[in-house]
A = this chain, B = another copy of it.
Amino acid sequence: MKKHNFSAGPSILPKEVLEDASKSVLELDNIGLSLIEISHRSKEFISIMEEATARVLKITELQNKGYKAIFVQGGASLQFLMTAYNLLETKAAYINTGTWSVKAIKEAKLLGSVLEISSSQDKNYNYIPEMNNIPNDIDYLHITTNNTIFGTQYKSFPDCSPPLIADMSSDIFSRKIDFSKFDLFYAGAQKNMGPAGVTLVVIKESLLNKVSRKIPTMLNYSSYIKADSMLNTPPVFAVYTTLLNLRWIESQGGINKLEKRNLKKAELLYAEIDRNSFFNGFAEVKDRSHMNVTFTLNNENLSDDFNKIWENNNISGIKGHRSVGGYRASIYNALPIESINVLINCMQQFEKLNK
């Protein structure tokens, strides 16, 4: 029996995507060979790569606007380094909204001066800080649009004249936003996009080739663009499964439709957290993430009781991150509303038992 999968990442993917990905490992489109045993220079794989990058630009409405989409290995963590390597000449600004921002700041400091212009560390990152005081004399401003661990999410984005860079790993393709506000954004695939092992980077090309340092080949965005993401053998399974998921997104009516569904799911779950006196939401209401819902028990001593209930209801992956404790329900694109209802039902069972 299939579980209700609330894992924060790697996380739930659509059933159709898993089925087609599984088939491709045995044989890709009746070509007599597995996806993972053909050359990445074959016409079959070149067409997969081309379709994947084209679909990204279509979904984000960035076609013919000077942007390129590339696929890179190494996760968002390698992007913490690559963004700085390619774009940080003297000084960059970062907004610190938690663990991933902190890691991004750490890598950037190896290559230049870093201003942490705003932070929510004072309250264990349970809110998105104000974004006043954005300096003009910086190479870029870096933000993390959704904070998987703490369950916070930007609802609007800073208007700033320097280039705006975003780590969108945990909420890309979950909501309609104006992607053209960003000069560069990146996302590890393993939430709303595909399996772990590939990272999407979308870049305004005019941003590149301006720093004075020599950039190693495998860290250089320009090399990836020039080679159509085939600088060396790409992670073929992760790229193909991402393509399947991009097709699925469009088949569902695109991100407009997914946003509506995600909003509904988030509203249902937050409503129960607010109604049910045994639970507390962790993030400030105005900054609540629609992807990662963090909450705690009012009485931690009752956690075994609650754990038993959701485990018996076939729920998986809702234990909170150690930095927050409690619970985290990750409710990405592919999570059906049925799973939300099962979780709410567990919370209500728990309430009745303990009243």
Contacts and interface: CB of A to CB of B under 8 A. Distances in A.
A196 B36 contact: yes
A113 interface: no
- The dominant DSSP class at the A interface is loop
A316 interface: yes
A110 B37 contact: no
A81 B218 contact: yes
A3 interface: yes
Contacts of A188: 232-233
Interface residues of A, number: 61
A39 interface: yes
Interface in A230-245: 231-238, 241
Given A195-B236, A237-B237, A78 B38 contact: no
Nearest to A18: B34
A36 B110 CA distance: 33
A331 interface: no
Contact of A39 (B25, B39, B76, B317): B317
B13 A233 contact: no
A119 interface: no
A156 interface: no
Interface of A: 1-3, 5, 7-13, 18-19, 21-23, 25-26, 32-34, 36-40, 73-78, 80-81, 103, 106-107, 110, 188, 190, 195-198, 214, 216-219, 231-238, 241, 314, 316-317
Given A13-B34, A21-B36, A196-B235, 5 more contacts: A1-B32, A9-B233, A25-B25, A77-B218, A81-B219
